[in-house]
A and B are shown apart, each in its own frame.
Chain A
Amino acid sequence: MLRLGIKSLLAHKIRFALTASTIVIGVAFVVASFVTADSLRSGFDQLAEDINTGTDYTVRGELPFGDVFDAVAPPVPAELVDDIAAVDGVEIAAGGFFVDGVIPVDGSGEPVTTFGPPAAGSNWIEDESLSQFYLIDGRWPVGIGEFALDVNSFADYDFELGGTYQIVTPTGPREFTLTGTAQFGFPEDAGVGAIFSLFDSATAQEVLGYPGEFTAISVRAEAGADIAEVQTRIEAVLPDGVEVITAAESAEEFSEGTETIIGPFQTILLVFAFIVLFVSMFIISNTFNIVLGQRVRELSVLRAVGATPGQVRMSVLTESAIIGIVASLAGLGLGMLGALGLKALFSVLGASLPESSLPLTPRTVLWAVVVGVGFTVLASLVPAFKASRISPVAGLSEGTTSDERASLGWKRLASGGVLLAIGLVLTGLGLFGDFDGATPQLSTLGAGAAVTFVAVSVLSPLVARAVVSLLARPLVWFMPISGRLARANAARNPRRTSATAVALTIGLALVTMVSIVGQSLKVSFGDRLATAFTADFIVTVDTQAGLPQTLSKDIRAADIGTPVGFSFDLAQIEADAGGVQTGVTRVIETTLTVASVRDLDAVINIDVIDGSLDSFDPQSGLLIHSDVAGDEGLAVGDQVDLTFVSGDRRTFNVAAIFDGSGFWSNWFIDSALHTQVATTAFDDLLMVQSAIDDPEAARAAIDDVLTGYPQAVLEDRQEFQDSIESGLNTVLVLVNVFLGFALLIALIGIVSTLTLSVFERIREIGLLRAVGMTRRQMRRMIRWEAAAVSLYGAVVGVVLGAAFGVATSAAIPEDIIDTIAVPYLQLFVFLVISVGFGLIAALFPAFRASRMNVLDAIADE
Chain B
Amino acid sequence: MSVAAPPTHAAARAVAATKIYGSGDTAVRALDAIDVTFEQGQFTAIMGPSGSGKSTLMHCMAGLDRVTEGQVLIGEVDLSTLSERDLTLLRRDNVGFVFQAFNLVTTLTAIENIMLPMDLAGSAGDADWVDEVVSATGLADRLKHRPSELSGGQQQRVAVARALAGQPQVIFADEPTGNVDLNTGAEILGFMRNAVDEMGQTIVMVTHDAVAASYADRVVFLVDGKIVDELTDPTPERIRAHMNQLGA
A contacts, CB < 8 Å to B: 403, 480-481, 484-485, 488-489, 492, 763-764, 767-775, 777, 854-855, 858
* Cβ–Cβ < 8 Å partners of B59 in chain A: 855
Closest to A772 in B: B92
Query: B88 touching A492 by the CB < 8 A rule?
Result: no
Q: A480-B119, A481-B119, A489-B107 are in contact. Are A770 and B64 (CB under 8 A)?
A: yes
* Cβ–Cβ < 8 Å partners of A764 in chain B: 102, 105-106
- Judged by a CB distance under 8 angstroms, whether B65 is at the interface is yes
- Judged by a CB distance under 8 angstroms, whether B32 is at the interface is no
* Cβ–Cβ < 8 Å partners of B97 in chain A: 770-771
Query: B107 touching A771 by the CB < 8 A rule?
Result: no
In the complex, how many angstroms separate the beta carbon of A472 from the nearest chain B beta carbon?
A: 12
Per the 8 Å Cβ criterion, residues 77-110 of B in contact with A are 84-85, 88-89, 91-93, 97, 99, 102-108
Query: A771 touching B91 by the CB < 8 A rule?
Result: yes
- Judged by a CB distance under 8 angstroms, whether B41 is at the interface is no
Q: A480-B122, A855-B64, A855-B65 are in contact. Are A772 and B107 (CB under 8 A)?
A: no
Q: A774-B88, A775-B88, A855-B65 are in contact. Are A767 and B120 (CB under 8 A)?
A: no
Query: A772 touching B106 by the CB < 8 A rule?
Result: no
Closest to A860 in B: B102
* Cβ–Cβ < 8 Å partners of B148 in chain A: 403
Query: A771 touching B117 by the CB < 8 A rule?
Result: yes
Query: A485 touching B108 by the CB < 8 A rule?
Result: yes
Closest to A479 in B: B122
Query: A775 touching B84 by the CB < 8 A rule?
Result: yes
- Judged by a CB distance under 8 angstroms, whether B39 is at the interface is no
* Cβ–Cβ < 8 Å partners of A481 in chain B: 116, 119-120, 122
A-B residue pairs in contact (CB < 8 Å), sample of 22? A403-B106, A403-B107, A403-B148, A480-B119, A484-B119, A485-B105, A488-B108, A489-B107, A764-B102, A764-B105, A767-B99, A767-B102, A767-B103, A767-B104, A768-B105, A769-B88, A770-B64, A771-B116, A774-B89, A775-B88, A854-B64, A858-B99
* Cβ–Cβ < 8 Å partners of A858 in chain B: 64, 99, 102
Q: A771-B120, A775-B85 are in contact. Are A763 and B102 (CB under 8 A)?
A: yes
Query: B105 touching A767 by the CB < 8 A rule?
Result: yes
* Cβ–Cβ < 8 Å partners of B122 in chain A: 480-481
Q: A764-B105, A767-B102 are in contact. List 7 more A-B contacts (CB 8 A).
A: A485-B105, A764-B102, A770-B91, A772-B89, A772-B92, A774-B88, A774-B92
Instruction: State the CA gap A481–B92 with chains docked (Å).
Output: 14
In the complex, how many angstroms separate the beta carbon of A403 from the nearest chain B beta carbon?
A: 6
- Judged by a CB distance under 8 angstroms, whether B121 is at the interface is yes
Interface string of B119-146 (1 = CB under 8 A from A): 1111000000000000000000000000
Query: A492 touching B65 by the CB < 8 A rule?
Result: no
Query: A772 touching B117 by the CB < 8 A rule?
Result: yes
Instruction: State the CA gap A769–B120 with chains docked (Å).
Output: 10
Closest to B62 in A: A770
**Top 5 closest pairs, chain A to chain B, by CB:** A772-B92, A488-B107, A481-B119, A772-B91, A763-B102
* Cβ–Cβ < 8 Å partners of A485 in chain B: 105, 107-108
Query: B93 touching A772 by the CB < 8 A rule?
Result: yes
Query: A771 touching B102 by the CB < 8 A rule?
Result: no
Q: A767-B99, A854-B64, A855-B64 are in contact. Are A773 and B120 (CB under 8 A)?
A: yes
Instruction: State the CA gap A281–B228 with chains docked (Å).
Output: 61
Instruction: State the CA gap A770–B90 with chains docked (Å).
Output: 10
Instruction: State the CA gap A403–B149 with chains docked (Å).
Output: 13
Instruction: State the CA gap A403–B120 with chains docked (Å).
Output: 23
Query: A772 touching B102 by the CB < 8 A rule?
Result: no
- Judged by a CB distance under 8 angstroms, whether B162 is at the interface is yes
Instruction: State the CA gap A777–B65 with chains docked (Å).
Output: 20
Instruction: State the CA gap A858–B103 with chains docked (Å).
Output: 10
Q: Give which listed residue, A763, A775, A777, A854, contacts B120 with CB less than 8 A.
A: A777
Instruction: State the CA gap A266–B148 with chains docked (Å).
Output: 55
Query: B85 touching A492 by the CB < 8 A rule?
Result: no
In the complex, how many angstroms separate the beta carbon of A757 from the nearest chain B beta carbon?
A: 12
Closest to A859 in B: B55
* Cβ–Cβ < 8 Å partners of A854 in chain B: 64
Instruction: State the CA gap A764–B147 with chains docked (Å).
Output: 13
* Cβ–Cβ < 8 Å partners of A770 in chain B: 62, 64, 91, 97, 99
* Cβ–Cβ < 8 Å partners of A768 in chain B: 105, 116
Closest to A488 in B: B107
* Cβ–Cβ < 8 Å partners of A771 in chain B: 91-92, 97, 116-117, 120, 162
Interface string of B204-244 (1 = CB under 8 A from A): 00000000000000000000000000000000000000000
* Cβ–Cβ < 8 Å partners of A480 in chain B: 119, 122
Query: A773 touching B106 by the CB < 8 A rule?
Result: no
Instruction: State the CA gap A767–B85 with chains docked (Å).
Output: 16
Closest to B99 in A: A858
* Cβ–Cβ < 8 Å partners of B91 in chain A: 770-772
* Cβ–Cβ < 8 Å partners of A773 in chain B: 88, 92, 120
* Cβ–Cβ < 8 Å partners of B117 in chain A: 771-772
Instruction: State the CA gap A691–B105 with chains docked (Å).
Output: 80
* Cβ–Cβ < 8 Å partners of A772 in chain B: 88-89, 91-93, 117, 120-121
Instruction: State the CA gap A771–B158 with chains docked (Å).
Output: 14
In the complex, how many angstroms separate the beta carbon of A2 from the nearest chain B beta carbon?
A: 12
* Cβ–Cβ < 8 Å partners of B99 in chain A: 767, 770, 858
Instruction: State the CA gap A59–B16 with chains docked (Å).
Output: 105
Closest to A768 in B: B105
Instruction: State the CA gap A492–B146 with chains docked (Å).
Output: 12
